[in-house]
A and B are shown apart, each in its own frame.
Chain A
């Protein structure tokens, strides 16, 4: 079942090269449409009331090393599959590129589907790396200034992380001789997977792998460079979906498998994540390049996800049930919302850059009079990102803070400053972009075109709908939350 979902984008790649079309984007869109249809079909078959992993496919692959071809989905996987399905067409709409670009993007899409549904570490790792190569190539081949530097930096960081993670998992495998997620989680409940000092090495390796991907301070320095040079569509996917691989890894593997380590490291990890949140917002405030600004805000927003997760991970036995559920739901919601909102922000920055040929904060001014509709819709995305209630960003953050406040009130109180600095950043951006007398250099800027509106309407609508009625997203994973909370407790 899920295999087909993974294969559809690859089939699209084949079509791209067989058909050699004049407009490769059309084929990419058609592929996306098929994927979306298929994802909806999966949802149809998926029973949201069941807590366990569903739609399982299991075949022996390389039995001698415990590698199995095992795919399956629970509510979280399904949520992420939807996110990927929404993001890719959105990202395709941002740029018009040549065939190779779409082929690489589709490969990445396929890899992402694989990562979020794999139930065996070897398979997971395979897809994990499969997503790395196209993203490296996309930055390297289609990026802007400094693309070589940024691409190599990105590759080295994430690759080092992956290697560390692989070594960590090999350590677990030598101790427990299984790579199966479910079995590992069960084993971890009975006692530590690996013991002694070795356990710390294993933990550190896997932690590093996912922390780089998210990214968590101080492993984040690859991100601004990579996002800045990547073409708009790639930046959208990088922040919207690829960074979620790290968060997903934390939820699926690290937090369930290493209860002890998290408990001991609690203050340090919380301090790291709070610094991550503050640094993201503060540095974003100091940026004059819009793309870099949005990139840093991504660090800030993903910090909230990790805040929720670390709160659970470090206090799982003492935590009230309501806090546990709030934290998990909040993190899941935040994953989804950040994916949509950050991608939309990158899309808008891309639109501005296309129109003006520059994307500095001071290259615009008085845009509200040139392009009121563009400004209004961009403001919606910005307000969503700064967590205005009524839009999608708020509820996830509220639930995360609710839980983390119960566990670590002082850390949360500092983290809330992140919300303030995000607001300051966006206020500054809005003031210098939209208000004041029109900048003569922006005379040629036109308002949103019909095609762009067509792309933006569903996304903006999604922001409002999720903000006003979060139940439609929450119901996808509510029973998964209950099951995961039971695992963690």
Chain B
């Protein structure tokens, strides 16, 4: 699997998607087969690609080609395999495969089973495209297609108005970020004349290319970061991600937890040379902004998650929070730590979402955690795997992968020369994460038996078990004792040093997680025995309401940005209908006025003159005709008088 034919990896799911669409609705039974097949082929090829990158540390292979010519210039695209891409490929295809299999069970009764798999395969293809792109343009294209797939899948149950609204919100919110991304691409293209990342020393991420950017690197980085903010649900564009939970749960697992939302983090990691161009001591303006955005996002989301009751929304806010954590990591210089957390997060968050899906499926589409409880007995496999995922997310040390990556992020944050505030806030985030996950576990699985529930079928539990196993197995490659994956991404060789496991931070970590879980158990366990109100809600009703309503950010946006834009459009419409058209009509009216004036002149002046003459002539005729009495003797008399007059005149003249 060399770089020249790495395009086959996204091509396989794409073909699968098209063939499912062509199969049509009637072939329901076999609709999932092409999707699974496509994913398996992609996974196999990804493994080959991964194997290729093991040849040498920091192995990178690119394949560029001309997409089209404009004038005598040409636009080049390309794909590549390097450790970053290969690791992402493996994660996406593997997690994707698990989720595809899970979906067979989860979506079994759905009317649009075939369409679901077509969309899912299409998403997979686009996402793999993002990963292997060696050109910012190709990345952007796939990035937008991923957004399209996300739109289609959030709005999958299109007959629900809430789903359609959520889909629209997701598309538009991410597109706001993408406009910044687009401008960033334009600026980068303008400055460096190429959009290829690596091109034998001429690419925009290589030294020669970076030199061309100069001072505008900060602007480019920040504009591109806008795209990442939109896609990865960072503050202030995070509002779409919780709403995106309107989509089917496997979609939430694949797109809105494991892969697509992480694309923003991947983007920053991929373009890290631009973000860090001209860095002094590893700090640049753009990276500092990335850190603070990440910190704010991580904390806000973790706080909101504590006050949510929808099982999927809690996980969604948790995702937002974790993405913020990754951004922090990238910003403070821990690129590999951030990427490792991305990969680990892909596994355990997919696991958690699928677990939530299994719970929802088993609990007859109940999503409110207050309506669950005591599911441990009814759903043992789900419980066990969910617990594994929960511990990985909370960062329980030693055997769960999330712990090691979280630790590395803490390390990186500590080393950041600018400020230690992010470090402390991240620690707070860790405690909160453990707290809300414990709360969720207690609500869902602990306590008295709630409503009747059943364990999900094998086709759904098997992916859960596989993913749970992965969260444990993965940690082998992540320990500080043998940080193989870390060094793989860095392009170095890893060495075994067992003593590193017992770093002092592991103690801190243990303390933080212990505190979170302990607090959670302390608060919720007793309180929920009797199924009373949420203890936090009882203690701090105002604060709880503030958080439960997502800090009223949606409302804030509704009343400010959205309303303003809507108003603008109304005003523009009004202006167009009345003002601009009115101006034109005014000009027309002037013409009409002129017409009226000339018409008046015509009627009153010229026309009436003629009229008067004729009327006068008629009157005269009437007067004269009265002399014509018809009396012949009158005429004769007149003639006689005339003669007399002539005679007298003659006599007088003579």
Chain A residues engaging chain B, CB cutoff 8 angstroms = 156, 217-218, 220-221, 224, 278-279, 282-283, 285-287, 321-326, 328-330, 366, 368-369, 383, 388-390, 394-395, 398-399, 401-402, 405-406, 409, 412-413, 416-417, 419-421, 423-424, 427-428, 430-431, 434-438, 469-471, 474-475, 478, 481-482, 485
Contacts and interface: CB of A to CB of B under 8 A. Distances in A.
Contacts of A329: 70-71
Contacts of B565: 421, 424
Interface string B454-478: 0000000000000000000000000
A326 B70 CA distance: 6
B590 to A, nearest CB: 13
A474 B70 contact: yes
Contacts of B73: 321-322, 325-326
B583 interface: yes
Q: Which of A224, A282, A383, A438 has the most CB of B within 10 A?
A: A282
A389 B140 contact: yes
Interface string B175-211: 1100100110011011001000000000000000000
A215 B573 CA distance: 17
A219 to B, nearest CB: 8
A423 B158 contact: no
Given A282-B568, A401-B182, A436 B164 contact: yes
A221 B158 contact: no
A321 B73 CA distance: 9
Contacts of B110: none
B179 A406 contact: no
B584 A423 contact: no
Q: Which of B69, B161, B566, B572 has the most CB of A within 10 A?
A: B572
Contact of A369 (B67, B159, B193, B572): B159
A345 B492 CA distance: 54
Given A423-B172, A435-B167, 12 more contacts: A220-B580, A221-B576, A221-B580, A369-B158, A401-B186, A405-B187, A412-B183, A412-B186, A421-B569, A424-B565, A437-B159, A478-B71
B510 interface: no
Interface residue range, chain B? 35 or more
Contacts of A323: 190
B612 to A, nearest CB: 37
Interface in B550-596: 565-566, 568-570, 572-573, 576, 580-581, 583-584, 588
Contact of B72 (A428, A438, A478): A478
Given A389-B145, A419-B179, A421-B569, A478 B70 contact: yes
Given A218-B583, A328-B71, A405-B187, A286 B569 contact: yes
B144 interface: yes
B328 to A, nearest CB: 28
A474 B186 contact: no
B168 A428 contact: yes
Nearest to B583: A218
14 contacts: A221-B581, A283-B569, A321-B71, A388-B144, A402-B186, A412-B186, A416-B179, A416-B183, A424-B565, A431-B164, A437-B161, A470-B68, A478-B70, A482-B71
Contacts of A485: 71
A296 B422 CA distance: 48
B163 interface: yes
Contacts of B189: 402
A436 B161 contact: yes
B104 interface: no
Contact of B159 (A287, A402, A436): A436
Contacts of A287: 573
A325 B569 contact: no
A389 B141 contact: yes
Contacts of B69: 471, 474-475, 478
Contacts of A220: 580
Nearest to A224: B576
6 tightest Cβ-Cβ pairs between the two chains A and B: A325-B71, A435-B164, A329-B70, A286-B573, A389-B141, A282-B572
B384 interface: no
A420 B186 contact: no
A329 B581 CA distance: 34
Nearest to A420: B179
Nearest to A218: B580
A334 B238 CA distance: 34
Given A417-B179, A435-B164, A469 B68 contact: yes
B72 A482 contact: yes
B159 A409 contact: no
A489 to B, nearest CB: 12
A170 B259 CA distance: 64
Interface string B123-167: 000000000000001001100110010000001001111011101
A221 B193 contact: no
B159 to A, nearest CB: 6
A427 B171 contact: yes
A180 to B, nearest CB: 26
Nearest to A367: B158
Nearest to B161: A436
A478 B66 CA distance: 15
Nearest to A332: B70
Contact of A283 (B148, B158, B572): B572
Given A283-B572, A401-B182, A417-B179, A431 B71 contact: no
A469 to B, nearest CB: 7
A283 B573 contact: yes
A413 B155 CA distance: 30
Contacts of A325: 70-73
A200 B174 CA distance: 46
A221 B584 contact: yes
Contacts of B164: 431, 434-436
A485 B168 CA distance: 41
B159 A366 contact: yes
A423 B175 contact: yes
Contacts of B70: 325-326, 328-330, 399, 474, 478, 481
A85 to B, nearest CB: 23
B216 to A, nearest CB: 10
